[in-house]
């Protein structure tokens, strides 16, 4: 399982990993969402239950633990505040209305904000209570621009890319420095059993870092090249490569993504309102890892998940026969027994389609 994922990350295999994992469903312990994102003990119990359930599925997913305390880890270090509702995920609020205020920010010190301290304590708790036997990932590394939009009001930030670009670059530089420094601190604390590349990607890689970047769906190729690519390239140089995740549709920026130094892979959601598999495969296939999971809007055009898979998802991703560096997801139904059946079903469909393309 891990060997297949590792060779896929290196674009060195002709087999397509089929993954499935239990992730966001509620657990049997009665924990609230607040419990599992603030309390290290309950977080570990919840994630261990998900890992146990995932291993039942016989998929190629390589599980790991993640010290996930929301998306505002880096914004918190600059002064943003995060609220923690009982039954929803944490919400980080901006505190700047005017881009000129970024010049008042002082460089943040890695590990010295409340949320960064919490991440480090959770890593230590995970290690102490698993004997270091389970890989541990970095916290959810939000991109420089994602983090900037949690500091400065989003409309002001994006408009300032045109009106005050030097101020935006100043903020992105500060954030990028912190991401690099705190990620290195986390990696040192985790030790040998690191889950590479991290958040949203199966463990098993040997280099690089996973970065979440949902804002790329909202910007033009010109803005992406000027305000995203340089900072991703800096992060990539620090960690031997970079893997990116984004929700939504960002086809307009696929060409620009390939300008990122050391781009190793992209994770995206496939389906209506998200990414088109034919376009994604055409632009990225064979050039970097393409990890394509299932979007949440498939039912807008398809009555069942299997129909979505057979008519759109799988044909689009396997079009042309190039399967190096491709990871697909089995239909993510809620019933775990049915999900296990669909892992086997997906393997059969993938094998048949590869045979049609190469036969």
Confidence tier at 307 by pLDDT (50, 70, 90): very high
Looking at 13-17, 56-60, 344-348, which range is the least confident one? 13-17
pLDDT at 207 over 80: yes
Give the model confidence (pLDDT) of 92-135 as tens digits. Answer: 999 999 999 999 999 999 999 999 999 999 999 999 999 989 99
pLDDT of residue 7: 94
pLDDT mean across residues, the chain = 94
pLDDT of amino acid 29: 83
Read off the pLDDT of residues 262-273 as tens digits, 9 standing for 90 and up. Answer: 999 999 999 988
Q: Specify whether the CB–CB gap between 179 and 74 falls below 8 A.
A: yes
In the chain, % of residues over pLDDT 70: 96
Give me the pLDDT at residue 107, please. 93
pLDDT tens digits, one per residue of 210-264? 999 999 999 999 999 999 999 999 999 999 999 999 999 999 999 999 999 999 9
pLDDT digits (tens, 9 = 90+) for 29-78: 889 999 999 999 999 999 999 999 999 999 999 999 999 999 999 999 99
DSSP 78-95: HT-EEE--TTS--EEEP-
What pTM does this model have?
A: 0.96
Is 357 a residue whose pLDDT tops 60?
no
The helix (run of H) or strand (run of E) holding residue 209 is strand 209-212
Please report the pLDDT score of residue 358 as a whole number: 44
Helix (H, G, I), strand (E, B) or coil at 12: coil
- Is a pLDDT exceeding 50 seen at residue 275? yes
Q: What is the pLDDT of residues 288-302, one digit of tens each?
A: 999 999 988 898 899
d(C-alpha 253, C-alpha 272), whole Å: 18
Confidence of residue 26 (pLDDT cuts 50, 70, 90): low
- pLDDT of amino acid 1: 67
Torsion region of 108: left, alpha or beta (phi above 0 gives left; psi -120 to 50 gives alpha): beta
Quickly tell me which residue has 């393309």 as its tokens. 357
Whether residue 359 has pLDDT greater than 60: no
- Measuring CA to CA, which residue among 172, 265, 269, 278 is closest to residue 224? 172
Instruction: Give 283-300 as a DSSP string.
Output: HHTTTSEEEEEE-TTGGG
Report the pLDDT value the prediction gives residue 25, as an integer from 0 to 100: 58
- For 157-184, the DSSP string reads HHHHHHH-HHHHHHHHHHHHHHHHHHHH
The band of 178, judged by pLDDT with boundaries at 50, 70 and 90, is very high
pLDDT for 24 equals 58
- Contact between 146 and 214 (Cβ < 8 Å): yes
Percent of the chain with pLDDT over 90: 86
Q: What DSSP state is assigned to residue 11?
A: T
pLDDT, residue 299, reads 87
CA dihedral 320, 324, 327, 330 (to 10 degrees): 50
Let me know how long the chain is: 359
Between CA 10 and CA 207 the distance in angstroms is 10
């Amino acid at each position: 399982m891990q060997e297949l994922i590792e060779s896929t990350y290196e674009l060195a295999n002709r087999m397509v990993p089929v993954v499935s994992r239990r992730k966001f469903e509620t657990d049997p312990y009665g924990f609230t969402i607040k419990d599992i994102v603030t309390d290290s003990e309950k977080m570990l119990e919840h994630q261990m239950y998900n890992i146990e359930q995932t291993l039942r599925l016989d998929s190629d997913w390589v599980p790991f633990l993640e010290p996930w305390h929301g998306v505002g880890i880096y914004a918190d270090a600059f002064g943003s505040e995060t609220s923690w509702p009982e039954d929803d995920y944490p919400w980080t609020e901006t505190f700047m209305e005017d881009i000129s205020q970024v010049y008042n920010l002082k460089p943040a010190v890695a590990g010295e904000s409340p949320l960064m301290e919490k991440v480090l304590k959770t890593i230590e708790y995970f290690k102490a209570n698993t004997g270091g036997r389970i890989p541990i990932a970095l916290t959810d590394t939000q991109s420089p621009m994602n983090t900037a939009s949690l500091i400065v009001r989003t409309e002001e930030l994006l408009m300032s890319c045109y009106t005050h670009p030097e101020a935006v670059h100043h903020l992105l530089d500060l954030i990028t420095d912190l991401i690099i420094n705190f990620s290195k601190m986390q990696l040192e604390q985790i030790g040998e059993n690191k889950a590479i590349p991290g958040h949203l990607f199966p463990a098993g890689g040997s280099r690089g870092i996973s970065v979440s970047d949902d804002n790329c769906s909202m910007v033009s190729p010109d803005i992406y090249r000027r305000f995203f690519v340089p900072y991703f390239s800096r992060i990539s140089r620090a960690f031997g490569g970079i893997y990116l995740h984004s929700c939504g549709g960002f086809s307009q920026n696929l060409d620009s993504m390939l300008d990122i130094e050391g781009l190793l892979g992209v994770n995206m959601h496939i389906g209506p309102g998200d990414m088109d598999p034919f376009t994604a495969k055409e632009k990225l296939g064979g050039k970097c890892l393409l990890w394509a999971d299932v979007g949440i809007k498939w039912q807008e055009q398809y009555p069942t998940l299997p129909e979505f898979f057979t008519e759109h998802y799988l044909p689009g991703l396997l079009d042309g026969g190039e399967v190096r560096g491709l990871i697909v997801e089995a239909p993510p139904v809620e019933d775990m027994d049915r999900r296990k059946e669909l892992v086997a079903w997906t393997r059969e469909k993938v094998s048949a389609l590869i045979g049609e393309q190469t036969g």
